[in-house]
Homo-oligomer: A and B are copies of this chain.
Amino acid sequence: MSTPHFDRIALIGIGLIGSSIARDVRELSLAGEVVISSRSAETLRRAEELELGNRYTASAAEAVRDADLVIVSVPVGASEEVAKQIAGNLKPGAIVTDVGSTKASVIAQMAPHMPENVHFIPGHPLAGTEKSGPDAGFTGLFRDRWCIFTPLPGTDQAALDKLKAFWMALGSLIDEMDAQHHDKVLAIVSHLPHIIAYNIVGTADDLETVTESEVIKYSASGFRDFTRLAASDPTMWRDVCLHNKDAILEMLARFSEDLAYLQRAIRWGEGDKLFELFTRTRAIRRSIVQAGQDVDAPDFGRHALDQKK
């Protein structure tokens, strides 16, 4: 597939994800011009200092004018507001996509505002780190990471193919599913883990019998593995929780039920039940490493990194 090229790309939102896209587009020369918009004046100024695009504007409506590709990278709760702002200025034939972690909600917020003559194709690159803001982005963030599309019925195949080619140029692996299934899958692989991580860090923070300095001092014995996720962007994650409510509540109910079973086994000293679960989970880790979805180095390779210092 040939490398795609767009005359003008508009990036609405320029945080970790938007700024990583901008860096890749610049490095790979995927656009004639990149127009960047942010509702935060400080973020916009920083994007300009980093030379992430060619033009900068506080107005999303202004940014999308004459753009062939519009990528909305904002907290999912802001999707409808952005859709309303840009709807009237979209170029006929433009592709409008997003990067949100929930898809049914984004579709419900944006699709009703999209003109008939543009291609609205929801997407979700499964990539990121616990850092946020335009300085947190980097070239290659999407390399070997999945990008899931949840196209609406009747989506133009040529537009979809062109959008896929764009993400493939960024190194992504491409997948496609319906929005409801996406939201269930993400609820278990991403949303529940983040919520659990936030929760356990909160629980530790509230203890009276163990001090916070003890928690920090001894965190290497397990706790710290949760703190990375619990350092993720609060606005983004508040919105994810509010906008994938049903799937998240379903997964939370299952998790709590399983935890009650485990708790009961501990209380009654049922070692066999504990051993059975603790053995079963080991196999999943092995599969994830085999699938190339994590590094095989023990302890996430922290020792290797330590030694590099």
Interface residues of A in 116-139 (CB under 8 A from B): 126-131, 136, 138
Partner of A217, one of B192, B215, B220, B293: B293
Q: Is the CB of A293 within 8 A of B219?
A: yes
**Copies per assembly:** 2
- Chain A positions 193 through 214: 1 when the CB is less than 8 Å from some CB of chain B, otherwise 0: 1111111111111110110101
Q: Is the CB of B207 within 8 A of A188?
A: yes
Q: Is there a chain B Cβ closer than 8 Å to A249's Cβ?
A: yes
Q: Is the CB of A146 within 8 A of B218?
A: yes
Q: Is there a chain B Cβ closer than 8 Å to A158's Cβ?
A: no
A131 to B286, CA, bound (A): 11
Interface residues of A in 254-286 (CB under 8 A from B): 254-256, 258-260, 262-263, 265-267, 269, 271, 274-275, 277-282, 284-286
A192 to B127, CA, bound (A): 28
CB distance from A202 to the nearest CB of B (A): 5
Q: Is there a chain B Cβ closer than 8 Å to A186's Cβ?
A: yes
> Across the interface, which residues of B come within 8 angstroms of A301, CB to CB?
300-302, 305
> Across the interface, which residues of B come within 8 angstroms of A275, CB to CB?
234-235, 238
> Across the interface, which residues of B come within 8 angstroms of A217, CB to CB?
146, 291, 293
Partner of A280, one of B202, B254, B258: B202
Number of interface residues of A (CB under 8 A): 112
Q: Is there a chain B Cβ closer than 8 Å to A297's Cβ?
A: yes
Partner of A229, one of B207, B209, B222, B259: B222
Q: Is there a chain B Cβ closer than 8 Å to A162's Cβ?
A: no
CB distance from A103 to the nearest CB of B (A): 13
Q: Is the CB of B225 within 8 A of A204?
A: no
Q: Is there a chain B Cβ closer than 8 Å to A242's Cβ?
A: yes
Partner of A278, one of B129, B140, B238, B248: B238
Q: Is the CB of A205 within 8 A of B280?
A: yes
> Which residue of chain B has the shortest Cβ distance to A287 in the bound complex?
B216
Q: Is there a chain B Cβ closer than 8 Å to A45's Cβ?
A: no
Q: Is there a chain B Cβ closer than 8 Å to A237's Cβ?
A: yes
Q: Is the CB of B258 within 8 A of A259?
A: no
Q: Is the CB of A293 within 8 A of B230?
A: no
Assuming the contacts A185-B218, A306-B295, asked whether A259 and B252 have C-beta atoms less than 8 A apart, the reply is yes
> Across the interface, which residues of B come within 8 angstroms of A222, CB to CB?
189-194, 197, 229
10 contacts between A and B (CB under 8 A): A146-B220, A189-B214, A192-B222, A193-B226, A199-B255, A225-B228, A231-B285, A237-B274, A294-B302, A304-B308
- Which A residues contact B (CB, under 8 angstroms)? 77, 126-131, 136, 138, 140, 144-146, 181, 184-186, 188-207, 209-210, 212, 214-232, 234-235, 237-239, 241-242, 245, 248-249, 251-252, 254-256, 258-260, 262-263, 265-267, 269, 271, 274-275, 277-282, 284-288, 291, 293-295, 297-306, 308
